[in-house]
Every structure is written in structure tokens, then in C-alpha cells.
Amino acid sequence: MSTNQSRYTLEKYPPKGSKIAPCPVCGSQSELWRYSESKDSPSNPVVMCTHTDKIGPQDSLLTGGCFMSNPTDDFYKATIREAIEYWNSYAKALVNLRNSNEATK
């Protein structure tokens, strides 16, 4: 995926031994990407959900897919390790919260 102003590049092979949690929202596979403002600027790794098809009543042209397929700026990190750790920590916390809320129903 790329535009005139930004560039995303898929990291085909995360570091050996790295495990990336599935998306904590929809359960789809997650992928490691690199983002840079331009071809010559430094890149920041980010983990994203792979589910980009519309969900339910979404308008797929505007907001299609899981919202974690385009996470907020705090998911963009300086290193691959930090991006994976942040994603995994967020995923664990969200799953725990969801399970806790289900248990109290």
C-alpha cells in the first residue's frame, strides 16, 4: 500500500522467535509493516490487523475492515521489537478486559 505522501512496506519475516498476537478485536492474523513519510525518510514499524473487508453495515469504501487494520499513532514505534511488544501488550490487555466483562454478565 502506498500513496504520494506515505509508504507502507510489509515485513515478510519478523525477527526469528517473534510471535505476533492475532488481532484482539476481530481475531484475524496480524502483520508487521514499516511506515515512512517518504521514500527517503526513516521508517517506523507497526503491527496491523489483516482484515480489511467490510464488517457488517460498514461502508467499505470509507471505513471498511477492522479498525486495527489502521491503528492509531501510538502503535508506530522506533523499533520492530517495540512495535511487536506494544501490539502484544495491547492485545493481551484487550482480551483480558473482554473476558473480564463477559464473566461479570
Contact 71, 83 (CB under 8 A): no
Please give the C-alpha separations between residue 95 and each of 22, 26, 69, in angstroms, as whole numbers.
11, 11, 17
pTM value? 0.85
Question: What is the spatial distance between Cα 68 and Cα 48, in angstroms, rounded to a whole number?
Answer: 6
Whether 39 maps to a domain, the answer reads yes
Question: What is the spatial distance between Cα 71 and Cα 48, in angstroms, rounded to a whole number?
Answer: 7
Residue 47 domain boundaries: 7-103
Whether 93 maps to a domain, the answer reads yes
pLDDT at position 5, please?
47
Whether 2 maps to a domain, the answer reads no
Number of domains in the chain: 1
pLDDT at position 44, please?
96
Whether 61 maps to a domain, the answer reads yes
Question: What is the spatial distance between Cα 105 and Cα 60, in angstroms, rounded to a whole number?
Answer: 32
Please give the C-alpha separations between residue 74 and each of 53, 59, 70, 100, in angstroms, as whole numbers.
24, 25, 11, 25
Q: Is the pLDDT of residue 96 over 80?
A: yes
pLDDT per position as a tens digit, 1-39: 444 446 899 998 778 889 999 999 999 999 999 999 888
Q: Is the pLDDT of residue 100 over 70?
A: yes
pLDDT per position as a tens digit, 44-75: 999 999 998 888 877 666 667 898 999 999 99
**Amino acid sitting at position 5:** Q
Whether 58 maps to a domain, the answer reads yes
